[in-house]
Every structure is written in structure tokens, then in C-alpha cells.
Structure 1
Amino acid sequence: MTPNSTVCVIIAAKNAAATISRAVRSALAEQAVAEVIVVDDGSTDNTGAEVLSADDGTGRLKLTGFERNRGPAAARNHAIEASTAPLIAILDADDFFLPGRFTHILAEDQWDFIADNIVFVKEESVGQIRNGVQKFQRQARLLDLEAFITGNISQRGKQRGEIGFLKPVMRREFLDRHQLRYKEDLRLGEDYDLYARALVAGARYKVIHSCGYGAVVRHDSLSGKHRTDDLKRLYEADQAILANDNLTKAQRSLLERHEKHVRDRYELRHFLDLKNQRGPLSALAYALRHPGAVPAIVGGIAADKSAALTAKPAPKQTSTSAALRYLLPASPETERP
């Protein structure tokens, strides 16, 4: 590997003792990885000890941390400042890299950000995943801001597959040149916000469809839990991007659509929180004071009730490969004769 193709993997971890060693080992197994920096974000379990148990003795692993929890954005910023490699890769503490991930990624050129396909797998199936992951053609393409925003608007009743789930490798030089870091007040959508701001700044965001990232689906995942105020901060982040005068009309329209999508979710959640915590009259009073929120509240409640009435039981999985789901549609890799 040349110096310009070495990678620092950064992992933010909070109470991740059950999974962190797997994540660290998968990163250290990659030859392109020069550093693995784990930030223990105020854990109250033995996350730190589990990190050190995965050390391979090469000197590439560094453990640092906060005494109190500050959130994944702050942890990742801390790791970026502590790292020296020219390329930065994000790995969540309960996820893992598939062998050879960076071989495919670093074969591409002319990018500032580059991401590959993600396979979603249930925790109980991780041990059998190696032989079940499909090999896909790389099919490299550039992702512009319009496609990115469109791909981050979830649709009710469909499995979540927002492009913001992608875990790109990022060039430090681009981040530093445009003074880009994670917004530390965000605990939801911090990845989406950073990538959107990078695209506004002109980032070349390349996507390849070969699969190198394993995302573990867990019922107790921290990423699946967020407060109502987290939604508020996320739509406010959209509003901050919308203040940029250099956006095209199409970009502005899509960002406004995403902002409204998140704001509607906030209004519904806030109304239901008031109803549960202070009673129906308090929730109704809020709706009367904020008539602009009423369509989101009424529409959201109606959609939730409709979804509950029409919900179907999940199909039973009969094999490990059937239990796998991929974020990006892709063409199978053809075998060479």
C-alpha cells in the first residue's frame, strides 16, 4: 500500500462489550488499515477491556475515550483529530468489515468519499455469514446531492434503506480543506448531515455495489433509539444547509422536502409525547397553538393506525442467505471461465 492509500478506521463505542472485539478484529484484518482508533464514549460496561482483547500486537490499535457520554458525532470528531492516516473509514461498534473490503474500494480513483454496498444480517446469523454474502459487480457511479437527498427520505411501510446508512471512506484532505466535521449536537442523522454538507461543498461521492460492510440488526441497537428532540435537531440541520445561497433550485426543493419529512415526524412524536406525559388536553392545546403541525399529526396518526390494521407477520427465514438484505440493488458477479 502507498502512503496515500492507508486507512484509519474510527469506532465510537458506548456499552458495546458484546460486539466491539468483532468490529476491531475485522478492521485489523485489513492490510490497508494503518490505524484503528476506538473512542469509548462513556461506557459503563467493560467495553474498553474487550477492545484491548482484540489487539493483534501490531501497534495499530489505539483506545481513547470520554468519562461521560458525548454522542457518536463527538466521538468520531475526537478520533479524526487523533488520527494521521489520509483516509478515514467509519465502523459502528456492532458492525464489521467483510474480508478484502478495502481492496475493492481502493481500486477506484477520482473520489473524495467512496462507499460500498451494505449487507444487513441478524446477530444470530453473523457466524454463518461468510459463505452467504453475494458477490456483486462493482458498478461504480457518482452520487450527487439530489440523488443523496432523495435516497434519504424513508417511505412508510417499506424496509428502511436510506443512502445515509452507507459508510464511506473519506479523504482527510477534503474534510480539512472545507472544515468539515460532524455536528456534535446531532445524535440522529449525524452521518447524513456531514455527507450532505460535503456534497454541497463539491465532494465527489463515488458508490460501488460490491459488498464489504456488514451491518448487524439488533433489537437493542442504540441507533434504533432516539429522542423526539433528536428529530428537531435534524430538521434544524437541514435548515442550516438551506441557508447556503449556492444551492440550485432542484437541490433546494429536495432539501426542503427532506426537512419537511423530518419535521413532520417530529410534530407527530411531540404530540404523542405530550399526550402520554401530560394528557390529551395538553396535546390538543399544542395542536391548536400550532395549526401548521396539524396535517402532520393527523396524517401520521391515520397512517400508523392503517399500518397496524394491515400489518402482516414477517416471513420465516429458511437459510442464512435468505436472511440477508442488501442496501443497494446490484448485479451478481459473473464467474470467469
Structure 2
Amino acid sequence: MHDICPEIAYPDTREKYISEPMPVEPALMTYDETKVAIIIPLYNDEANIARALESAVAQKAPEGIRFDVIVVDDGSRDSGPEIAEDYARRFDNVTFLRMDQNGGPAAARNRALKETDAGWFTPFDSDDIMLPERVANLLDKARQGDLDIVADNLLISSTKAPETVIRHLWPGKPEGDVSLTTELFVSRSYAAETERSELGFLKPLIRRRAVKSGAEPYQPDLRFGEDFELYARLLADGAKAVLTDPEGYLFVVRDGSASHRQGADDHRKLAMMGRAFLKRDGLAPAEREAFAGFTRYCEQEWAAWTAIEAIRAKRPAGLVRALTISGPASWHVAGNLMKAFGGKLSGKGRQAGKSA
């Protein structure tokens, strides 16, 4: 089910995202590249957090390397925080933090990174699983290749059988290391041929010094697409990155996840993000084309969701708004409305025929 907001505020289109190039800030801390932070946002996930923490603390750190696990509770109303606190008491490399109020996964990850001088970090969702060698293997590849980002092709499973692999995130990925360019990443992060195969779902290992936005790498007001924004920005800023074969991250797909709760305002933010990327100087033609395609897709989703929410809330003004977002988006919505209206008419016609 989708969460529907009956009233949506549309801010000034001059809204800015840090998708635009950021100046390098003066160093506020010296990052320790012998430390890796495994960042886990937690929100109402008492059923899975212990499993995630077990796989996080089981990560085998190479000699001379420390893995720190940082759990940030984002306003949970279940017993998940108590479970995480228990792990923090029992393991000296586990830290538990609480947000003052619910801010979303991006804000929670930023909170974690403010508390550590780790030179590397990797996001880890509270309902997922990692095999013990996974982070060490990513770090080894990053250090050997002097890479800023190393991502592995995720293993997709389900809540019914979390440790049973259904497929790979990118089913058709070429074998071996693939250069993760801006063009490849962006073009494979929307309108994918297989649901949940977008590269924006990746959970890479990231070098802190590659992040030019300082202590808060993530755009905090994004609750949907925050990973895509960060990875795309780092790549556009020149980060050296590869996508390798699976190293053991099980991405457990479940009903009710954030990707199934998006609405018009989420897609509006993504469209605005895409427009901000297109304003960047120095994009190669192929990169610009990829961002343009991403932006058109997000505008169409923004318009479609605006129309859906307007119809459900019986707000004609919202439907008008859906037709003014962009030319292609307007045609997209108009086509959907014509199909829906045509379907209703044909259904009534069939009913009339049966009555006759």
C-alpha cells in the first residue's frame, strides 16, 4: 500500500539540493583509514535488528583494521532500541545512538558519521544480512585499487527465506569488476527492466575523504532516494568507483519497505534533484543524457502520483497541478487518465451488454 498525503505543498522550484558541486570544507577531523564504520539506521524493526547486528559484529576485520558498528535509533516505538542497546553493552565495537526525533535514514546516517573518525563507511539496513568476509573483501579491493567507492552486486532474498538468494540486484551484470561511472550508475537507477534492480539500492564501501560535503554526506531531507543522491554526487565529483561481483550482502525484500511508501512529494524531490544535477558544469554529454532521462522519469512519477493523490482526495486543483510539471509528464498523466477512463467506459459497455 502507498501512503497518501491529501495535501501536498509544492515549494519554490528554486529549491536547491547539494547535488550541485560542493566546495571542499576545511577538515574538521582527521579520518582514520584503519577504521570502517558500519552504519545501521533503526526504525521499528525489532524483528530483524538482532539478525543484522549478529552479521555486523561477525565481520572479520583484517589485521590492523577496526570495524565499528553504529546503530542510530530514529524514533522507534517497539523494542528494537533495547535490543540494539544490549549489543552495545556486550560488544565494545558497537555504539548505540538515539535521534531526538524521527528524521529518516539519511539524517540517522549523518548522525552516526558525526560520531566517528572512521576513514571508511558502509550503509547497512536493519533488515538485511552480510556474510562475514564481505566488508573485508570490499576494503581490500578499495585499498589495492586506490578506489573511493567499492560496491558489490547485491543478493536479493525475501522475508520468507532471508538467506535464500532469489537473484542478483543487477541480473545481467558482466562478470568481474565493472567501472562504476556516473553514466552507468544513473542510467541503471531508474525504469529498470526488473523491479528492485536499480543501482541506487547498492550498499557500497565509501572513503570519507571522497565526500566533499563534510560531516553530513547524506541530503537530510530526503527519505526516498537518499542513497542515489549521494552516490551520483560522489561519482559526478570524480570519485573512482567499481561495481564487483557479490561479496555477500543479502538485500531482504519485504512488504511495507520505504520504496513501497513513496508518494508525489518524494518524486518531486527526486525530480528537483535531477534538475540540480543538470545544472552542474562539466558534465560529459553521456552523463548529461543519463541525468536528463532520470529527471524525465522522476517528473512523470511526480505527475502521476500527484494525479493519483488528487483523485483520491477529490482535489481538482491537484489534478491541474499534475498537468503542469513538464510537457512529457503532462502527456504521461493524460495518457494514464485516458486509459483509466477508457477502461471504465468499456467496463460499463460490457455491463450494459449483459443487461441487454
Q: In which range does the TM-score fall when normalised by the shorter chain?
A: 0.7 to 0.9
1:102-138 alpha-carbon deviations (Å, 9 max, x no partner): 2321331221010112111111212x549x999x997
Query: CA–CA distance in 2 between the matches of 1:230 and 1:137?
Result: 32
Give 1:229 deviation, angstroms. Answer: 0.4
- Which residue in 1 is equivalent to 2:108? 75
Distance 1:177 1:225 in 2: 28
Does residue 66 of the first structure (1) align with residue 99 of the second (2)? yes
Contact 1:15 1:44 in 2 (8 A): yes
In the alignment, which of 197, 201, 210 is matched to residue 161 of structure 1?
Answer: 197
Over 3 Å counting, the alpha-carbon distance change for 1:251 and 1:178 in structure 2 is farther
CA contact 1:188–1:226 (8 Å) conserved in 2: yes
Cα shift readout 1:149-188 (whole Å, capped 9, x = no counterpart):
1111224x73220011110000112125877711111111
The CA RMSD over aligned residues, in Å, is 2.8
Counterpart of 1:252? 288
Name the counterpart of 1:125.
161
Deviates more, 1:196-205 or 1:48-57: 48-57
Does the CA-based 8 Å contact 1:5-1:106 persist in structure 2?
Answer: no
Larger radius of gyration: 2
Pairwise CA distance, 1:86: 1.3
Give the corresponding residue for 1:320.
none
Q: Distance in 1 between matches of 2:123 and 2:46?
A: 18
Moved more, 295-304 or 215-224: 295-304
How many equivalent pairs are there? 299
Identify if the C-alpha distance between structure 1 residues 294 and 204 changes in structure 2 by more than 3 Å, giving closer, same or farther. Answer: same
The answer to whether the 8 Å contact 1:154/1:161 transfers is no
Percent identical:
30
Structure 1 runs not aligned, ≥5 long: 307-337
The equivalent position to 1:143 in structure 2, one of 180, 196, 200, is 180
d(CA) in 1 for partners of 2:196, 2:289: 22
Partner SS state of residue 270, structure 2 = helix
1:92 alignment partner, SS class: coil
SS of the residue 1:262 aligns to: helix
The letter for the 2-side match of 1:52 is E
Partner SS for 2:190: coil
- Other-structure match for 1:334: none
- The residue type equivalent to 2:108 in the other structure is A
Normalised TM-score (structure 2): 0.76
What amino acid does structure 2 have at the position aligned with 1:31?
K
Q: TM-score with structure 1 length normalisation?
A: 0.80
Tell me the secondary structure at the aligned position of residue 140 of structure 2: coil
Deviation at 1:282, TM superposition (A): 4.4
Alpha-carbon shift at residue 287 of structure 1 (Å): 5.4
1:13 aligned residue: 42
Give the Cα separation in 1 of the matches to 2:147 and 2:87: 32
Match status 1:101 vs 2:102: no
Cα gap change, 1:291 to 1:23, in 2 (>3 Å): closer
2:74 is the counterpart of 1:41: yes
Match of 2:53 among 24, 41, 46: 24
Q: How far has the Cα of 1:78 moved from its partner?
A: 0.8
State the shift of 1:244 in Å. 1.1
| Structure 2 unaligned regions, length at least 5 | 1-31, 343-356
2:95 aligned partner, one-letter code: K
Q: Quote the Cα distance in structure 1 between the aligned partners of 2:198 and 2:339.
A: 20
Match of 2:124 among 86, 91, 108: 91
Rounded Cα–Cα distance in structure 1 between residues aligned with 2:47 and 2:80: 8
1:210 Cα deviation (Å)?
2.6
